[in-house]
């Protein structure tokens, strides 16, 4: 059993995948098992997030089909609070606010997004404690952005029509780079990606 479990690759030495990697469009499944490996994954995710100067990172972005994301709005290891959201549910949107967003999976691309100003989030943290909070401001924006990732939604999907043209030109470069990485085998084909995601779901979401 353990030999088989250990045969899943990409559970250590995580990397942030970039648009248009298919895992970014994968709808993640709820996690039913938290083990030492998952805790290690989350610690690696924090390392990657700080390295990339981000304030939030979702499992999809490190090629994992799991409903979890991390946040530290301070963006620095020794500042702010490290938050882990497992199986998050976002509800009760109130108000609207427009702000520029970016994404570690679409580096150097930014665009304005309108989102509810306040939401309610319920989830579990890494110790299994329930999170049940109303959030607003930057924390609300990050939580909504990361929660979107878990459902295969990217901030570029929420950009207003008027900014669309500029955005499409920037995204075309990512597509070119992706096609090249595909052609050299650096990124596996869809069937191989899906087999790996299914193996991870069998382990953590059964």
Burial group, residue 35, by CB count within 10 angstroms (0-12, 13-18, 19+): exposed
Is residue 103 near Zn ion by the rule CB under 5 A? yes
Dihedral of CA 34/137/101/164: which sign?
positive
Is residue 64 near Zn ion by the rule CB under 5 A? no
| Cβ 24 to Zn ion shortest distance, Å | 9
Among residues 130, 146, 161, 170, the one annotated as catalytic is: 146
Q: Are strands 97-101 and 83-94 parallel, antiparallel or unpaired?
A: unpaired
| Cβ 180 to Zn ion shortest distance, Å | 22
Nearest residue (CB) to Zn ion, 107 versus 188: 107
Is residue 17 near Zn ion by the rule CB under 5 A? no
Is residue 142 near Zn ion by the rule CB under 5 A? no
C-alpha 143, offset from chain centre: 10
Total of residues contacting Zn ion (CB under 5 A): 1
For the chain, give percent helix, strand, coil, nearest 5: 40, 20, 35
| Cβ 159 to Zn ion shortest distance, Å | 13
By CB under 5 A, name the binding residues for Zn ion.
103
């Amino acid at each position: 059993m353990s030999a088989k479990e250990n045969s899943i690759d990409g559970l250590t030495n995580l990397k942030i995948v970039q648009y248009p990697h298919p895992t970014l469009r994968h709808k993640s499944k709820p996690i039913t098992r938290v083990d030492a490996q998952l805790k290690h994954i989350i610690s690696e995710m924090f390392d990657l997030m700080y390295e990339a100067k981000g304030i939030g990172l979702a499992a999809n972005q490190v090629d994992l089909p799991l409903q979890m994301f991390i946040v530290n709005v301070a963006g620095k290891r020794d500042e702010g609070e490290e938050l882990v959201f497992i199986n998050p549910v976002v509800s009760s949107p109130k108000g609207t606010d427009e702000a520029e967003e970016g994404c570690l999976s679409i580096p150097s691309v930014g665009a304005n997004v309108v989102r509810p100003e306040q939401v309610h989030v319920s989830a579990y943290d890494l110790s299994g404690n329930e999170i049940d909070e109303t959030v607003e401001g930057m924390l609300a924006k990050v939580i909504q952005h990361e929660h979107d990732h878990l459902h295969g939604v990217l901030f570029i999907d929420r950009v207003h029509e008027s900014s669309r043209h500029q955005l499409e030109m920037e995204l075309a470069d990512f597509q070119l780079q992706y096609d090249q990485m595909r052609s050299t085998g650096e990124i596996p084909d869809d069937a191989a990606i899906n087999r790996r995601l299914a193996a991870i779901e069998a382990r953590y979401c059964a």
